Amino acid sequence: MTLMRLPDWEERLTEFLRERRDMPFTWGRNDCALFACDAVLAMTGTDLAEWFRARPYATALEAARRIRQFTDGGSLSDVARRLAERHSIEEIGPAFATLGDVVLADGPAGRAGPMLGISGGHADLYIGEAGIEERGADSRLKTWRI
């Protein structure tokens, strides 16, 4: 199944970002993976996180277990790769991400491992302790065209 952006995807993405602007990071509700998947859902109507929503989690340990279950022992990067394969989402070079594309980046100091977010055009957007945080593109590891 190939993802297609809805005709009004920009308005949908803008509204999604407005709703999430001050919503804090919460495992299983508004963590980095669900933030990115929810942005894709807003733009396309397709829920990439359906498997994870059917297996709720509320802690970092439970999230790590779900990731291992979904990827047969893999990582967050493997989750993104598998979802991209399942939905025919093209991986692109990090320098080519545009508004709404999914990005995987190194986490900032103090956070373990990589994190998922979306390209906001001028900066990448990730969910942080107090809501959406912006970061430059220099920490991108991988990107996928939505």
Name the band, by pLDDT with cuts 50, 70 and 90, for residue 41.
Answer: very high
pTM: 0.94
The mean pLDDT of the chain is 94
pLDDT in tens, 55-103: 999 999 999 999 999 999 999 999 999 999 999 999 999 999 999 999 9
What pLDDT, on the 0 to 100 scale, is given for residue 98? 96
What pLDDT, on the 0 to 100 scale, is given for residue 121? 86
Mean pLDDT of 31-40: 97
Q: Which residues contact 50 (CB under 8 A, 6 or more apart)?
A: none
Give the integer Cα–Cα distance in Å for 16 and 10: 10
Q: Domains of the chain, with CATH numbers?
A: 9-144 (3.90.1720)
Whether pLDDT at 43 is above 90? yes
What residue type is 50 in one-letter code? Answer: E
pLDDT in tens, 108-135: 766 667 999 999 988 999 999 999 999 9
Mean pLDDT of 47-53: 97
Residues above pLDDT 90, as percent of the chain: 88
